[in-house]
Amino acid sequence: MDRRTEIRDFLTTRRARVTPEQAGLRPSPLGGARRVPGLRREEVAQLAGVSVPYYTRLERGDARGATDAVLDAIARVLLLDDAERAHLFDLVRAANATAAEARTPRHPARRTLRPELWNMLEAMNGVPAYVRNARLDLLAGNALARALFAPVFDSPARPANSARFTFLDPAAAEFYPDWDAVADQNVATLRAEAGRNPYDKALSDLIGELSTRGDTFRQRWARHEVRRHRAGAKRLHHPLVGELTFTYETMELTADDGLFLVVCGVAPGSRDADALDLLAGWTSPRPTNEAPTRRT
């Protein structure tokens, strides 16, 4: 992905969604229709305390000399949330990276999961738990997670990946009753990771695969939405136990850069808990049916 284009498209899409009223600007006494949606470049520059030529150059993708203070001011004017602000900083960092930095991946390559992670998943046999990487590959799961997300783990769209399943497997539309929300979440997560780790070839290949195999992903990707989906609720229509809703918490594994532990839960005594108990009765106590040799 071209870094200058990424900065340009991100800033222009964010600027287009902020109204003058939201930015605290008074209506022009001359009235009349505005020619652009959202703020004008000169308005962003004025509110951020920079010159119009400087902001114009930055919005065109030339991030040379962009300081943290300037980026913070622009983020404030454009009403960026924490994830969007971090994404802007990531894009500028990547655009200004030296050749040596560009060749260094943000997340070190790792061929296997540590045995301690497999033991931890095996011990967590009362709740669905799995490990994923930042590009949404499902690397390992305990028996209950593999039962809950069986359509994803067993999907012919390989390797097992949440976004690949959502966009390429026809079963996804039935498995996710709220498919649009899940699709948006996956795209926003991948978009944020592309900003953090733009030289990850596997990530670029995944984005290219999803973009070329249908318009749905490509249209969402063009919106430049970024989010941090670390906790929330999700609804599934499981092929064995029907519809159930669970909450999830995503925790970054500090000893394994780029890996995340996702733990799912349901309300005690609920129908969702009954469905999960039913699944648990059908599962093996083993964490997976594969040796721990998955690539990350």
Q: Please tell me the distance from the alpha carbon of residue 106 to that of residue 133, in angstroms, as a whole number.
A: 13
| pLDDT digit string, tens, across residues 101-149 | 655 555 555 557 899 999 999 899 889 999 999 999 999 999 999 999 9
pLDDT at position 8, please?
96
Please determine, for residue 295, whether its predicted confidence score (pLDDT) is greater than 90. no
pLDDT at position 292, please?
44
Per-residue confidence band for 293, with pLDDT thresholds at 50, 70 and 90: very low
pLDDT at position 153, please?
96
| pLDDT digit string, tens, across residues 173-208 | 999 999 999 999 999 999 999 999 998 999 999 999
| pLDDT digit string, tens, across residues 7-51 | 999 999 999 999 999 999 887 665 556 777 899 999 999 999 999
Please determine, for residue 1, whether its predicted confidence score (pLDDT) is greater than 50. yes
Structure-token pair, residue 180: 């649009």
Structure-token pair, residue 105: 């991946």
pLDDT at position 104, please?
59
Q: Please tell me the distance from the alpha carbon of residue 249 to that of residue 229, in angstroms, as a whole number.
A: 9
pLDDT at position 112, please?
76
Question: What percentage of residues in the chain have a pLDDT greater than 70?
Answer: 88
pLDDT at position 296, please?
45
pLDDT at position 284, please?
54
Per-residue confidence band for 229, with pLDDT thresholds at 50, 70 and 90: confident
